[in-house]
Structure 1
Amino acid sequence: MPDIISCVAQAGYLGASIPQKYGGRGYDSYQLCALHEVMAGVHGSLENLITVTGMVSTLLQRVGSAAQKAHYLPKLATGELIGAIALTEPNIGSDLVNVETELQQDGDGWRLNGKKKWITLGQIADFFIVLIHCGNQLATVLIDRNTDGFTITPLNDMLGLRGNMLAELHFNDCRLKEDALLGPLTPGVPLAVNFALNEGRFTTACGSLGLCQAAVDVATRYIRQRKQFKRRLFSHGIVQHLFATMLTQTRSAQLMCFSAAEYRETLHPAMINQILMAKYVASKAAVDVAGKAVQLLGANGCHADYAVERYYRDAKIMEIIEGTSQIHEIQIAMNYMMGSEA
């Protein structure tokens, strides 16, 4: 995996969301959309690598000190450092306001205790941005991989996105310096975390679109070449029905992602809801489109010789990461009723 990361970094893709003044590409929303669409078709875990790096860089840009930005952002862009963002825990998924990982004042610094789970890139990350509670408030802290009391347990054998190198993080009286605290303590989930999640939802939506298109491409080649009952598969009405549905769902996901890119680029007041809807529509479409591709390929679709089985597994993860589809339904409806969509 380090060799692959090096290739992605050399191409400049790890710095896609990082401003040029820090050595990144500074891609606009449309360029980001295209990048994540293409990369997901190559491999979902490569796309997710870029997504997580974008989330980490977004959070650092929001609440990192000038020194932290100058140190971490250029090295994230080149792949010299790998960052991860640690929000979820063994007992906490969507309910981030009730995280149990605890930060306590300790002299002129801090002491960190708790666990995080399902952390993407956790097996290889050099540093982590961790959501914590301190008293009755929340914040994020930055912790180095080599901090005393910090241990990492790999989590493998996942359904999809198997190259994500997930890990469980254990913090046992980890001593942190005063400047490890990123941003102020707040009564709810820090605004910077929401900005990072918004970044992740946008790029995950575009990655889901990439899985849709990749599944369509494989299915197109297959139904053109494969014959059953002395006719090409494409000439059968039932196949045409499945394929037409795949095309329509993919186009719908594409339009939602393009709209989200436009809203993001212009900072439209309804940007957050548009991104939520794009991620909701595109990730659900990816599961259905990839599933139909597996169905069209039959037994071949269930074997690793054909990538559609991987697209199907990866797509299911897209429905869960950066907020489940069910959580998005609640957020979309609440945002609309509260007027942020208007």
Structure 2
Amino acid sequence: MSPMELSKIASALYKRFMTEECESSSTWLSITPPINTLGLSTYDPLLRTQSKISTFGGSQRPNNWRSQFTKPAWTFDDTTQEYYIHVYASGQPDLNWENEACRREIYDNAIKFWFDRGVDGFRVDTDNKFSKVSGLPDAPIVEPDQETQTAVCHYANGPRIHEYLYEMKQVLAPYDIMTVGELPNTPDLEDMWKYISPNSQPGPQEIDMVFNFDTVNLGQTPGNRFLPIPFDNDFKRCLTKWQKLPETTGAWTTVFLENHDQGRSVSRFGSDLPEFREQVAKMLASLLATMTGTLFLYQGQEIGLINGPESWSANEYKCVRSVN
């Protein structure tokens, strides 16, 4: 199929693009035999490091980082006798953005591959987590009774993130496409603005627009998304904050209430009882459609889908976070 034919069939087609990590089955992992440390002098697409030796004589993980799915962020590779890092699932090893050859592989054989075939844009997954603090230091100990610690401060909005995104933007420049970034762990408007501002440095507007996580985190206890908290007033404040973005900064914004990580908006922000479901779905649809920004609907939202039945047992939930 030619790029023109693909564009006619799916004029608004855009891909979910994961540049912070890859799948463990990816062919990137077998390009060359991986060679120790961080892969800076050889082509190793993964961020690896050798284990430390504990005071008891055995090996231990390189640091105390915890993954986003509550497990340790390091997994031992029996083949290389090294640990590789994954801030998400162990089957999603982190790519080594410090390695220029690895970045070039991403640009040439992932980004260009799809745009040359007519894709109109990318949703860039966790696009603020490509750069980690040099040396991979231990995370601050805030839970002394836990083996691992939350390490977001060492890998979200890292020291070279804007350098990398600006470099990637140069690859995107020849294409007539759009990009929308996922920007977790960035509640401060000033930090977020650096990614999408027409006046940001080292270059303007690294990403066309971003999904902010204020909406995603509504009604969740910080550090424990499964412990709900009231959010009535926060809902209004959240929407108002991001609606002011184009007027106050010149940057564009997104409009959304659902994604693959959250419950259905009818259930979260209204009521999914039979007598209210239709009214709530129409009310939320009207709200979104009258706001400023690019509107994104998650699959099933257009017909007012609701959460799964409460009668389901925990064994019937298959997402990684639930299993862990």
TM-score (norm 2): 0.26
Higher share of residues assigned helix: 1
**Superposition TM-score, scaled by structure 1 size:** 0.25
